[in-house]
């Protein structure tokens, strides 16, 4: 059988890849992909531990909630990205350094 430690190691690797993307990328969309990777690592952990809760299903249900939250995050983040692009004509986070006049 697959042990819990295997799942935890895989999700740790995914988490670190997401961290690398967030820190190093110069494009808001790729940073968003990094955030999604981190969220997926967390969901993988929830699901792996949820296997040991047959009656209440807490792990799986909160994994579902996390997926819905990720969808909401992405919708808002993309609206913000579109707005930023309209104003600055770029989505490089380094260039976005002014507040509204």
Partner 1 sequence: MTLVRVLFYFLSFIAIVSALYAASSKNLVRSIFVFFVTLFALAGLYVLALADFVAVTQIVIYVGGILVLILFAFMLSGKETLNVIKQQNSRIISLKTLPAILLAALFFIVLLNVVLKADADNLPWIRESISLKNEITPNAIMIDNIGVNLMTRYLLPFEAISILLLMALVGAAHLSRKEGKA
Q: Which residues between 1 and 60 bind partner 1 (CB under 8 A)? A: 1-10, 12-21, 23-24, 26-27, 29-30, 32-34, 36-37, 40, 43-44, 47-60
Question: Tokens 């983040």 belong to which residue?
Answer: 77
Q: Which of 72, 97, 98, 99 binds partner 1 (CB under 8 A)?
A: 72
Residue 75 sits in the site that holds partner 1 (CB under 8 A):
yes
Residue 96 sits in the site that holds partner 1 (CB under 8 A):
no
Q: Which of 63, 97, 99, 101 binds partner 1 (CB under 8 A)?
A: 63
Task: Give least dist CB 101 to partner 1, A.
Answer: 13
- Sign of the alpha-carbon torsion through 23, 32, 30, 27: negative
Q: Which of 42, 90, 97, 98 binds partner 1 (CB under 8 A)?
A: 90
Q: Closest Cα partner for 33 from 69, 2, 77?
A: 77
Q: Please name the helix (run of DSSP H) or strand (run of DSSP E) that holds residue 45, with its range, or none.
A: helix 28-50
**Which residues, including other chains, have CB under 8 Å from residue 25's CB and lie 6 or more apart?**
31, 34
């Amino acid at each position: 059988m697959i042990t819990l430690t295997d799942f935890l190691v895989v999700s740790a690797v995914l988490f670190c890849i997401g961290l690398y993307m967030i820190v190093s990328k110069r494009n808001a969309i790729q940073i968003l992909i990094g955030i999604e990777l981190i969220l997926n690592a967390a969901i993988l952990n929830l699901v792996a531990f949820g296997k040991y809760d047959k009656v209440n299903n807490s792990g799986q249900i909160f994994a579902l909630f996390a997926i819905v939250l990720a969808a909401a995050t992405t919708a808002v983040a993309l609206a913000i990205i579109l707005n930023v692009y309209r104003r600055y004509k770029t989505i490089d986070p380094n260039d976005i350094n002014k507040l509204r006049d």
